[in-house]
Amino acid sequence: QVQLVESGGGLVQAGGSLRLSCAASGSIFSINAMGWYRQAPGKRRELVAAITSGGSTNYASSVKGRFTISRDNAKNTVFLQMNSLKPEDTAVYYCNADIEGWGYWGQGTQVTVSS
């Protein structure tokens, strides 16, 4: 049974920083791409950032230059460093991983940015 467990969300003032972590556990041989998505109330879930097993990254235009995705392959963990946070970044953030061709989601972690 594969699980993705996120941590690091919370309440922060505009301009502040947060670091999200997502650890994959269970019977895992290899993980392909990992990523972070977010969903604000009344909006669709959207891709925030993704990273391949080789370290290539992709970002939504709204977070480029402010967010950084990274991963520790030895620990099956992906991180999202979020700087210069804005109120419009407020959402539930979900971790996603392609594990041996199957897609898995974390339970989500709330990020709230106050103005």
What are the pLDDT digits (tens) for 33-60?
A: 999 999 999 999 999 999 999 999 999 9
CA angle 33, 113, 90 (to 5 degrees): 50
Q: Which residue has the higher pLDDT, 85 or 30?
A: 85
Contacts (Cβ under 8 Å, ≥6 apart) of 5 = 22, 23, 25, 106, 107
Strand partners, 3: 25
Q: Are 18 and 10 in contact (CB under 8 A)?
A: yes
Count of C-beta atoms within a 10 Å radius of residue 72? 11
Structure tokens at 114: 């106050």
Q: Is the pLDDT of residue 13 over 90?
A: yes
Among 22-31, 45-54, 58-67, 71-80, the range scoring the smallest mean pLDDT is: 22-31
Look at residue 85 in the predicted model and tell me its pLDDT: 98
What are the φ/ψ torsions at residue 14 (nearest 5 degrees)?
-55, 135
